[in-house]
Amino acid sequence: MSLKNCHNFSDFRKLAKRRLPSPIFHYIDGAADDEITYNRNTSAFNDVDLVPNVLRGVESVDLSTTIFGKKLDLPFYCSPTALQRLFHYDGERAVGRAAQKFNTMFGVSALATVSVEEISSLIDTPKMFQFYFHKDRGLNDSCLERAKAAKFDVMALTVDTITGGNRERDLRTGFTSPPKLTLASLFSFATKPMWGINYLTKGKFELPHLQDYVKEGTSTNTSIGNYFSTMLDQSMNWNDAEKLCSQWGGHFALKGVMSVEDAKRAVDIGCTGIMVSNHGGRQLDGSRSPFDQLAEIVDAVGDKLDVICEGGFQRGTHMLKALSLGAKACAGGRLYLYALAAAGQAGVERALGQYKSELERDMKLMGCTKISDLSRNNLRFR
């Protein structure tokens, strides 16, 4: 199996599984507890059907959308995800370049393995920084200032990782950052020698936004769940969010809002967007899927800030359904992470290109030529 045989999400997933040592694959692939929310994030799309309109003359389709005041050529973007150089040695460089090629937004995590400064020198398309509220206020200020200096367009405060989710696959495989050889994982690392060679020879593994402040994740092995639980400030509240919002002074979003009440408060504290998200099913299992919750949130605050649906997308039609319900854009992590692991930048480009051509085709089949043509009239729930 090679990249040219990858026609869809599950093909990329299969190829990624071949390339990655199993603890790393399962870190991407896994979720919290019994992974019911993770599965629901995608299966929720099947509870509603698309109803096309015909004979509308659809020679050319415009997929562009505007979020946070930036026009993107695509109605979806790459969510920020941690530790990308573990998945492919180019990590964020590969994803950022691919996002630039399609003129869509690229999210950089505070737990990124490439610095905001470097990303900013590589790409000039819209960029989001994903902020984690640490106990160490010096670290928080440093992240904010560096992202500002690097001319990032959007600051997204993560609000659904106040403590680490129970990712049982990581407990079983012994996944940590940086990766640690255990008796259990030795075999899987040994069977993927290419990954090992690349990891050891293509530049040191770093967490450039954090390592001057904390040792965990770089020189001290930690699981991501443990990192969230011990490093992040669990007393974070709406006042903190409001202060960060004004300290940042630009487009500011909360990532991980699920209730209508919280969505309204996000408006009140000055957010210009929210990501309706359950962190890819990796935090609170049994929580509602973004798509299931989307309509209520759009109805409540859709005219006051940009509502972004994040999680579960594996197909262009999934995005079409979320956009029809009123999301301004769609976002995802696994959406491109398997492709990154499978083949670096070329993989991410192929994945983004496939979603794009699916969307173009699906829009034509729906009888729509621009994103604003999509509405709830296109949908019927079963």
Partner 1 sequence: MNINDCLNYDDFRKLAKKKLPAPIFHYIDGGSDDEETLKRNTEAFNDCDLVPKVLANVGKPNLSTTVFGRKISMPIFLSPTAMQRLYHPEGDNASARAAEKFDTFYSMSTMANTTIEEIANVSSGPKIFQLYIHKDKSITDDLIDRCKRANFDGLCLTVDTIVAGNRERDHRSGFTTPPKLSLKSIISFASKPKWVFDYLANKKFELSNVKNKTEKGTNITKSVIQYINEQYDPGMNWNDAEYVIKRWGKPFAIKGIMSVDDAKKAVDIGCTAIMVSNHGGRQLNGSRSPFDQIKLISDAVGDKVDIILDGGIRRGTHVLKALAAGAKACSFGKAFLFSLSAGGQKGVEKLLQNMRDEIERNMILMGCKNLKDLDYSRLIFRR
Which residue, 56 or 243, has its beta carbon nearer to partner 1?
56
Phi, psi torsion values for 277, nearest 5 degrees: -160, 145
In the complex, minimum distance from the CB of residue 38 to partner 1, in angstroms, rounded to a whole number: 17
Using the minimum distance from each CB to partner 1, give the nearer residue, 5 or 201: 5
Rounded CA gap, 138 and 118, in Å? 21
State which H helix or E strand residue 254 sits in: strand 251-257
Known catalytic residues are 279
Q: How far is the CB of 364 from partner 1 (least distance, A)?
A: 5
What is the C-alpha to C-alpha distance for residues 21 and 341, in angstroms, rounded to an integer? 11
Over the Cα atoms of the chain, what is R_g?
20
What lies within 8 Å, CB to CB, of 281 at 6+ separation is 31, 32, 35, 36, 37, 38, 39, 40, 41, 311
Contact positions vs partner 1 (CB under 8 A): 5, 7-8, 45-46, 49-59, 315, 317-318, 320-321, 358, 360-362, 364-366, 377, 380, 382
As a whole number of angstroms, the distance between CA 271 and CA 149 comes to 21
CB of 116 closer than 8 Å to CB of 140: no
The least CB distance from residue 56 to partner 1, in Å, is 6
Angle, in degrees to the nearest 10, between helices 22-29 and 334-366: 40
Nearer to partner 1, 273 or 316 (CB): 316
Contact 321, 289 (CB under 8 A): no
**Shortest separation between residue 310's beta carbon and partner 1, angstroms:** 19
Residue with Cβ nearer partner 1 (151 or 380): 380
For residues 45 and 106, which CB has a smaller minimum distance to partner 1 in the complex?
45
48 phi/psi in degrees, rounded to 5: -135, 145
CB of 323 to partner 1, least distance (A): 13
